[in-house]
Amino acid sequence: MKRVRTVGLGALWAMSVVAAGCATASDPVVAKCGSNYTCLRDTMFQYRQQAAELSALAQRYELEAMAKARELGQDAEPVAKSRELAKQLRAEAQQADELARDAQRQLPHNMKY
């Protein structure tokens, strides 16, 4: 019973991260910072960190889905939910990575990050 509760809390936390990612992903990088290079650099790092965290969560849910599939079978509902959540998290990670690249493109080439 505790395992189900832990997974449920983990899913709730992951969904809040995804929702936060969606909220920040809608802001264009250039509109947010203009030509402020410090802001662009910080934004790039924030998006890269967000992408790394979302990728790690996606990997965790993929592994969880594999473990559940061994226990419950490939077609079990918890397996499908874990796989779907992992897929959503991967998409959010890719979007954050693209935003990080957009911010990096706005920086001068000789600027050290």
For 109, list phi and psi in degrees, rounded to 5. Answer: -65, -25
User: Which H or E run contains 82?
Assistant: helix 77-106
pLDDT for res 1: 44
**Amino acid identity for residue 2 in this structure:** K
pLDDT for res 15: 53
pLDDT for res 2: 47
Return d(Cα 113, Cα 107) in angstroms, integer.
9
Return d(Cα 99, Cα 51) in angstroms, integer.
10
Q: Please write the tens of the pLDDT for every residue from 6-54.
A: 555 455 455 555 544 444 445 567 788 888 889 999 999 999 999 999 9
The alpha carbon dihedral of 100, 96, 57, 64 has a sign of negative
pTM of this prediction exceeds 0.85:
no
pLDDT for res 14: 54
